[in-house]
Amino acid sequence: MITVTRLNGSRVTVNALFIEMIEETPDTILTLTTGKKIVVTEKTAEVIQLMQTYLRGIGVARAIVDFQHSEGSQ
């Protein structure tokens, strides 16, 4: 889960695994796999950093690297 800031200043926690797309128009819009859109104050790079940190924290990023490494060595 990542915590981001809505335009009105309220904080919301989002499941990073459900983020399908991030757009900057110039506001940053998170589109979830459910179709819901959330407009946040963080820039795209910040959201991506939050997502990467979260994925590392739950071991997903490591699992992907390990999988790619094992696929390449066969």
Task: Provide DSSP, 21-49.
Answer: EEEESSSEEEEETTS-EEEESS-HHHHHH
Could you say which DSSP state residue 42 is in? S
Element (H, E) at 74: none
User: Phi/psi at 20 (nearest 5 deg)?
Assistant: -95, -35
Could you say which DSSP state residue 16 is in? G
47: domain CATH number?
A: 2.40.50
- pTM comes to 0.79
Domain count, the chain: 1
Q: What integer pLDDT is reported at residue 59 of this predicted model? A: 82
Per the structure, the complete domain to which residue 41 belongs is given by 2-72
Q: What integer pLDDT is reported at residue 58 of this predicted model? A: 84
pLDDT at 73 over 60: no
Mind listing the pLDDT tens digit for each residue in 23-72?
Answer: 999 999 999 999 999 999 999 999 999 998 998 888 876 655 555 555 55
* Three-state DSSP state, 29: strand
